[in-house]
């Protein structure tokens, strides 16, 4: 008998946990618990502080964070959306936004924004627009990211080269990369990694090309190919490790371990770079060098409310709070990302005084929004398999890019037809 | 995977019971027998048969990203047949299948070595060989990725002592599929080892003693006694092994990064299924792909059953 109750308990415990995890309805006693889906563990402390501040103003509402690793965030979200267990409020990015908005699983916010006078105009216009679909606003930006040139001052000093600055062009980068490469110590001047957001898209835009315009792919465009050739050329000449090497230790890790002297990377990485003592001491930041024109990619996350949530009123209160100045300041002080609320970025700049973070803000002027369409994942998935060989030092970027352009156009056409 | 041995054992037990008691199976006995197999039958219906029918139905539909679907006829099958990546993945999957079968000879040899009389610590060896099989594929994949790493991996380090150039094993399209296949063999050998050890134990020692008296050496004894008498076990293991290798996914998913230039050369059918169903929102086409895989598995299994008559000896 005793044994039986023990077993019964063992079976019941996970079931009970599963029920409470599902989070249905309002809790007893008029209190509401919201679930908040996010993926970046580095932003956890900042988000917790924001939640605490929100709680102070709204003691009736508590927020529980659901952290899902990036690798499975979207799969999990989509499945939980179907199963009805999706978080009430969650992080959204540009790649997935249109798919979610078009399928009606996001709560339209325009009415709430008007009613509560949410300070939307204090966020960058390009970002706000990224999260509106057919004239309706579905998400409010929380932060933004630009790509900058990170460089290792110590390696530059050793090679006797002056540090990169706003006057640098792609030629300067090539010259410096040649000088900085030292095969005997397995140090490379540059990391021309196959990464769409931090390498490929900035290079394409820097060469005055485009990724997506008026529903057509830009990969087959001569200017876009020039941009990608800037990257593959570095690999062919041995100034950058080939892609096969950068799969096993990515460019960022190579920069951290001082095996790469120059690397394009996100502003959001500043906190992690700052945590590496060597880089805190001699890590430098510059604006992206100029190709045919100046360009970088801007992207930011937004908070959205699930249309299937049964606590929409509380969820909106939370999203409204996070779009305001107080939350933005807390986020900026946490030092992980640039908060998108105008005028709160000082706290972020001051959080890492050794770094010239203001370059990331300067680049807003000529930043290109991250390209996306309704089913972005389909054509994005074509990129790495098709470009892989060219980025591994096997050449042929022209034909690879043209094939990619054709296949992407086909995917875009299917997307329009469906 | 565990279903086959369990049912085989249950059948054997049922056989011995009826023969021991001498009772003929009457209608009453039969009815109670159905109650005993009902749990398994129910599980099979709910977890195998119903999803099978659903998959078949879904393969003729197109899915909305968040539920809802429309009937589109055979469009998904046309897409599957026209898509070159499907054929590439099918080719890769067959390579995994062939490599995966290499675990069998390794396991047979090790099993017969462990069967030597007077060998001590057999259970320790058995555990050592079995540990990789019970280790999570994620952990296995991560550890092997470190071993294979082109910059600081142990394998390159050891090869460099012999003057072999360092290589990016899992990111070079010409080696990646074999690198992953090696890990597959490494992690499954223990499972087949246990099966073969049981099979080897079932061979009467008298045969070996008689052969030894006639002057047969260890190799001769292995080839003329162990292998033929083990053939039913080998057949069972090869069917299981083939089915498992055709469904391989997790190890590749862990070992191959999204940006890996070798991804097209290593992607399996199930890997492609995952990509279509969960990343590209093409669940209908993915269901058609899963059905294609089922047909391939059914065909190859049928073939194995046909061929077995020529080489399997039931003593």
Give the mean pLDDT of chain B: 88
Kindly indicate the confidence band of residue B313, based on its pLDDT and cuts at 50, 70 and 90: confident
Question: Among candidates A26, A27, A25, A23, which has minimal Cα distance to A37?
Answer: A23
The mean pLDDT of B305-312, rounded to a whole number, is 91
3-state secondary structure of A62: strand
With residue A133 as reference, give the H or E element that holds it. Answer: strand A132-133
User: Which pair of tokens denotes residue B44?
Assistant: 């099979």
Q: Return the residue in B260, B265, B267, B274 with the most chain A beta carbons within 10 A, the one to mutate for interface testing.
A: B260
Lowest pLDDT segment from A186-190, B13-17, B78-82: B13-17
Question: Is the pLDDT assigned to residue B19 strictly greater than 50?
Answer: no
Kindly indicate the confidence band of residue B64, based on its pLDDT and cuts at 50, 70 and 90: confident
- The set of residues, in sequence order, having a beta carbon less than 8 Å from that of A294 and lying 6+ positions away, is A206, A287, A288, A366
Q: Does B276 touch chain A (CB under 8 A)?
A: no
> Which pLDDT does position A42 carry in this prediction?
84
CB contact under 8 A, A384 and B65: no
| pTM assigned to the model | 0.82
Question: Is the pLDDT assigned to residue B23 strictly greater than 90?
Answer: no
User: Which pair of tokens denotes residue A141?
Assistant: 């930006």
> Which pLDDT does position A351 carry in this prediction?
87
Kindly indicate the confidence band of residue B280, based on its pLDDT and cuts at 50, 70 and 90: confident
User: Which pair of tokens denotes residue B80?
Assistant: 């599957």
Q: Return the residue in A306, A388, A415 with the most chain B beta carbons within 10 A, the one to mutate for interface testing.
A: A388
Q: Are A310 and A25 in contact (CB under 8 A)?
A: yes
Report the gap between the CA of A116 and the closest CA in chain B (Å).
30
Measured between beta carbons, the chain B residues lying within 8 angstroms of A72 are none
- CA–CA gap between residue B122 and residue B131 (Å, rounded): 14
CB contact under 8 A, A377 and B149: no
Sheet strands side by side (includes A302-305) = A61-67, A32-38, A89-92, A302-305, A139-141
Question: Among candidates A130, A51, A125, which has minimal Cα distance to A302?
Answer: A130
A306/B4: higher pLDDT: A306
Cα nearest neighbour of A254 on chain B: B151
B69/A354: higher pLDDT: A354
With residue A206 as reference, give the H or E element that holds it. Answer: helix A201-206
Q: Does B149 touch chain A (CB under 8 A)?
A: yes
Question: Is the pLDDT assigned to residue B194 strictly greater than 70?
Answer: yes
The mean pLDDT of B107-133, rounded to a whole number, is 89
The bridge status of strand A260-266 relative to strand A188-190 is parallel
* Residues above pLDDT 70, as percent of chain B: 90
DSSP string covering B139-204? HHHHHHHHHH-TTT-HHHHHHHHTTPPP--TTTSTTTHHHHHHHHHHHHHHHHHHHHHHHHHHTS-
Q: Are B243 and B297 in contact (CB under 8 A)?
A: yes
ipTM: 0.79
Backbone dihedral angles phi then psi of residue A65, each to the nearest 5 degrees: -80, 135
- CA–CA gap between residue A86 and residue A73 (Å, rounded): 11
- CA–CA gap between residue B92 and residue B98 (Å, rounded): 10
CB contact under 8 A, A378 and B280: yes
> Which pLDDT does position B28 carry in this prediction?
64
> Which pLDDT does position B121 carry in this prediction?
87
pLDDT per residue as tens digits for the range B222-231: 999 999 999 9
> Which pLDDT does position A236 carry in this prediction?
96
- CA–CA gap between residue B110 and residue B128 (Å, rounded): 12
Question: Is the pLDDT assigned to residue B120 strictly greater than 50?
Answer: yes
CB contact under 8 A, B280 and A193: no
The mean pLDDT of B193-218, rounded to a whole number, is 92
- Report helix angle B283-311 to B84-101, nearest 10: 40
Measured between beta carbons, the chain B residues lying within 8 angstroms of A391 are 261
Kindly indicate the confidence band of residue B10, based on its pLDDT and cuts at 50, 70 and 90: very low
Per-residue pLDDT of chain A (418 residues; tens, 9 = 90+): 344 444 443 444 443 333 333 344 444 457 899 999 999 988 899 999 999 999 999 999 999 999 999 888 998 998 899 888 999 999 999 999 999 999 899 999 999 999 999 999 999 887 898 899 999 999 999 999 999 999 999 999 999 999 999 999 999 999 999 999 999 999 999 999 999 999 999 999 999 999 999 999 999 999 999 999 999 999 999 999 999 999 988 999 999 999 999 999 999 899 889 999 999 999 999 999 999 999 999 999 999 999 999 999 999 999 999 999 999 999 888 877 888 998 888 888 988 999 999 999 999 889 999 999 988 989 999 999 999 999 999 989 999 999 999 999 999 998 888 7
CB contact under 8 A, A247 and B257: yes
Question: Among candidates A306, A198, A272, which has minimal Cα distance to A41?
Answer: A272
Measured between beta carbons, the chain A residues lying within 8 angstroms of B149 are 248-249
């Amino acid at each position: 008998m005793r044994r039986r109750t023990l077993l019964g308990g063992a079976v019941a415990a996970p079931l009970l946990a599963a029920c409470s995890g599902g989070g249905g309805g309002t809790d007893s006693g008029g209190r509401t618990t919201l679930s908040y889906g996010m993926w970046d563990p580095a932003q956890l402390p900042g988000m917790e502080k924001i939640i605490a501040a929100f709680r102070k103003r709204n003691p009736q509402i508590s927020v529980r964070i659901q952290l899902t690793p990036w690798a499975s965030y979207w799969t999990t979200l989509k499945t939980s959306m179907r199963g009805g267990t999706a978080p009430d409020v969650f992080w959204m990015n540009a790649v997935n936004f249109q798919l979610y908005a078009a399928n009606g699983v996001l709560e339209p916010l325009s009415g709430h924004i008007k009613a509560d006078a949410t300070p939307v105009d204090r966020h960058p216009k390009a970002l706000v627009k990224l999260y509106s679909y057919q004239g309706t606003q579905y998400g409010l930006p929380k932060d933004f990211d630009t790509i900058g040139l990170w460089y290792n001052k110590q390696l530059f000093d050793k090679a006797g080269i002056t540090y990169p600055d706003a006057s640098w062009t792609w030629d300067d980068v090539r010259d410096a990369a040649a000088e900085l490469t030292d095969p005997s110590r397995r140090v490379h001047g540059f990391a021309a990694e196959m990464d769409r957001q931090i390498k490929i898209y900035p290079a394409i835009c820097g060469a005055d090309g485009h990724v997506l315009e008026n529903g057509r792919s830009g990969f087959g465009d001569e200017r876009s190919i020039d941009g990608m050739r800037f990257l593959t050329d570095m690999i062919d000449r041995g100034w950058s490790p080939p892609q096969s090497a950068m799969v096993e230790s990515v460019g960022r890790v190579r920069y951290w371990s001082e095996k790469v002297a120059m690397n394009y990377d996100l502003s959001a990485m500043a906190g992690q770079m700052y945590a590496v003592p060597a880089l805190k001491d001699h890590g430098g930041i510059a604006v992206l060098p100029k190709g045919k024109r100046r360009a970088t990619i801007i992207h930011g996350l937004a908070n959205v409310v699930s249309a299937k949530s049964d606590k929409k009123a509380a969820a909106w209160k939370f999203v409204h709070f996070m779009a305001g100045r107080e939350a933005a300041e807390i986020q900026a002080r946490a030092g992980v990302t640039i908060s998108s609320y105008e005028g709160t970025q000082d706290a972020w700049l001051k959080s890492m005084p050794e770094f010239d973070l203001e370059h990331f803000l300067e680049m807003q002027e000529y930043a290109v929004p991250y390209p996306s369409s309704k089913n972005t994942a389909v054509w994005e998935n074509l990129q790495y398999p098709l470009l892989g060989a060219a980025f591994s030092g096997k050449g042929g970027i022209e034909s690879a890019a043209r094939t990619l352009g054709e296949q992407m156009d086909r995917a875009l056409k299917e997307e329009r037809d469906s | 995977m565990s279903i086959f041995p369990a049912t085989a054992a249950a059948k054997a037990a049922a056989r011995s019971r009826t023969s021991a008691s001498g009772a003929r199976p009457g209608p009453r006995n039969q009815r109670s027998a159905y109650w005993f197999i009902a749990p398994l039958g129910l599980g099979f219906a709910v977890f195998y048969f119903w999803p099978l029918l659903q998959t078949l139905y879904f393969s003729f539909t197109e899915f909305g990203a968040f539920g809802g679907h429309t009937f589109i006829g055979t469009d998904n099958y046309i897409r599957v047949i026209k898509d070159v990546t499907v054929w590439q993945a099918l080719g890769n999957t067959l390579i995994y299948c062939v490599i995966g079968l290499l675990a069998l000879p390794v396991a047979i040899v090790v099993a017969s070595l462990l069967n030597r009389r007077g060998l001590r610590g057999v259970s320790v060896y058995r555990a050592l060989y079995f540990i990789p099989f019970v280790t999570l594929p994620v952990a296995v994949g991560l550890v092997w990725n470190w071993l294979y790493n082109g910059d600081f991996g142990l394998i390159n380090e050891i090869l460099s002592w012999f003057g072999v150039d360092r290589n990016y094993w899992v990111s070079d399209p010409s080696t990646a599929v074999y690198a992953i296949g090696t890990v597959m063999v490494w992690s499954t050998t223990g499972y087949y080892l246990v099966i073969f050890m049981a099979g080897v134990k079932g061979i009467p020692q008298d045969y070996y003693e008689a052969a030894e008296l006639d002057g047969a050496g260890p190799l001769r004894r292995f080839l003329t006694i162990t292998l033929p008498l083990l053939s039913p076990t080998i057949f069972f293991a090869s069917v299981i092994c083939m089915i498992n290798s055709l469904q391989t996914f997790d190890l590749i998913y862990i070992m191959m990064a999204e940006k890996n230039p070798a991804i097209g050369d290593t992607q399996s059918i199930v890997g492609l299924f995952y990509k279509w169903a969960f990343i590209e929102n093409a669940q209908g086409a993915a269901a058609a792909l899963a059905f294609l895989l089922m047909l391939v598995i059914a065909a190859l299994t049928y073939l194995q059953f046909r061929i077995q008559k020529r080489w399997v000896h039931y003593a």
